[in-house]
A = this chain, B = another copy of it.
Amino acid sequence: MTSASHTKVIAIDAMGGDNAPEVVIRGVSRFKDSGYHFIIFGDKSKVDPYMGLIPSGLSYEFRHTDIAITSEMEVMSALRLGKKSSMGLAIQSVQAGESVAVVSSGNTGLYMALAKIILKTIEGIDRPAIASVLPGKHGSTVCLDLGANAECDVKNLVDFAIMGEALARSIFNKEDVKVSLLNIGSEEVKGGRLVKRTSEILKKLFDNYVGFVEGDDLSKGDVDVIVTDGFTGNVALKTIEGTAKFIASEIKRTINHGILARIGGLIAYPALSSLKRRMDPRLYNGAILVGLNGVVVKSHGNSDEIGFENAIKFTMNILNRDIFNRIRDLIDKSKLHDAIESLGGEVL
């Protein structure tokens, strides 16, 4: 039950998300003999009924708090109570150097707010972003910001590009990653001042900046990083989810309509389920709140145990690479400063 020295420790918020704490406990339980140690923060009376599910090979400890953050809370009271909540204590475990990462399914906005207060942003980064890996036809793409910052300026987007490149290099384990900027046309004349100005700077800053991409590029997998503001990114992410659900419901309706379709559907069933598994958003569960001094991973609020398991796997994948030094290297201010100078020294 206790951590061996040098074992990597992950802090878990047991109380976040729609199906907490059951799916959290079930999700963590899938990591027996993983070489990781888990510190689970939660309300003992609520977690107790599920403690029997934990297998003997799991390395973990439990820490009690009766304070949990809920989506219904006012922001101010959530922040006031926050540090003593299961989410806040889990983040503090990273801040104290006890854990190397934290995973929660709790409210994204409050998670970001607490993580910023407790861990602070990496020096040189103004605002953290939410990043995730999207599946596409020819591969996967790191996309950010997916909703942390509804309103962004040029400096924010440049920061996102820097963090996105570091993330993509780590996650895809290659040096040469293609960075792009989301716009409403690939021509240089398209879009507003924000994307035009950002694009000028990214061109100076990155050798591997490929320019503008459009909404349909989010599902192509031809570039490694797509940068956008948190408003557009969040709408796009939810649009993908909505479109996939709509098509799935149409397929189901079609296959249930008529005897031939039903027979065909039954025969093709194994293949179609493998497709469903491949497209399953739970397999891509795990967004990282990037730009903070620590690995802060968000699992989907209504994820089940498979989803939570994948959020932990995603965390471990990031932990195996050293993304922070990469980000720090990229935000080398002299480089950014040179890029702006060469454009006439205008402010961002």
Contacts and interface: CB of A to CB of B under 8 A. Distances in A.
B268 A261 contact: yes
Nearest to A193: B151
Contacts of A235: 182, 184, 214-215, 228, 232, 235-236
A237 interface: yes
Give the contact-size bracket for chain A: 35 or more
A247 B215 contact: no
A75 B235 CA distance: 30
A143 to B, nearest CB: 11
B150 A231 contact: no
A239 B218 contact: yes
Contacts of A278: 250
A275 interface: yes
Interface stretch (A23-31, A157-165, A251-259, A321-329): A251-259
A161 B131 CA distance: 32
Contacts of A184: 147, 150, 230-231, 234-235
Interface string A263-279: 11111111110110011
Contacts of A150: 184, 190-192
A116 to B, nearest CB: 17
Contacts of A251: 251, 275
Interface in A179-215: 182, 184, 189-193, 214-215
Greatest chain B CB density within 10 A among A192, A217, A219, A250 is at A219
A246 interface: yes
Given A232-B232, A232-B235, 13 more contacts: A150-B192, A214-B234, A215-B235, A215-B236, A235-B236, A239-B243, A251-B275, A255-B268, A260-B268, A263-B264, A264-B266, A264-B268, A267-B267
